[in-house]
A and B are shown apart, each in its own frame.
Chain A
């Protein structure tokens, strides 16, 4: 297990939650999914949000990813409030500054590996030559050079998640948010993915927020937040982390 390889930079705040609350209405019942959550992720953080199913961790990640809006409270991205931004403005912020890694990889099946990684760069209207260069670099970084023309259904689960990681990093975002990135992988592949994320965090100084209920993932974190019933129960800061 690789030990303690984080990006130690005196970080400025990248994502902040201030009194974040989220209600859901299920029939006649109102469910409080998040309850006054306060949290700050700074540049270069590698934080894991840990908790059981239904604890609100994915809801929290969705707020940080700016794909869901809080019922109360505020999400600040690079110290700027986001609650008043339009859907279009939030989309622009996501494409330029946030990378996402999903539990089920969520690659576009009709596009090749290279095209999947290239997709966010098309949104940012990056010039063709630069796109090619960046796609090649990211695929090399995740160990998938030579797989450019493959379709997602021709890859293993671990390879697909590597493509998703390359896609998340290709725009050089300020934060990468990963929702249960190892849940659909066997333990060996999950370990490889976490080591990859850790290495990228170290190399790129990008903030990583990983949501998981997998105890083995917790060991990779610099900061571990435990969430239960929509509230942050506690935070553990680790100087020399390792897997649980």
Chain B
């Protein structure tokens, strides 16, 4: 077991309440450097809330949270530069051109370059990495859904983050776009050792990309482990079987 300082993310007893509704009850987990953690769960399980608290976009009700050694509720600009964020859907800057926007946003990261991590990523190199070379001079509003999403990822990593948040990154992708996206994520983890926290509804995606899977239901973690371990543990034929068994039994428990 690694010590807390070495974990990229450490969450202890996290709770979130909106009025009388409890969205997160006692969530505890850790993410180690270079690890890809997939958070699964039905709609309303608290996935997005969790990720938004870790991104510093939302205040929590209780519990201790550390991201890159800092409480995200008080994260400063230097901390912000080490974290990359790709949210569910973005349609901003529709009049900008691809290269223009990447170069512009990258500029914000330049003061935070270190000897080990040159920031920002060169715009052209990044455009090639996400496969948008042909669209570099196109305006954002003319991009297809998949291209737009790849650009969102490019923006998320333009500052060469040590930790990347991906909130349902492939929703609405066709199989080819999904395949290319998975290849991109693997390159990030293999070549750059980026730590990734992703939420998804796609179990196949989770078992392909994630080192470890966390299943949230009703604001609680109901299971965690490697995709293979979860599958055998629940004695299902696939991660999907395991997921269905777990979520159904947990929802029965909550009905009361």
Bound pair (A, B): no
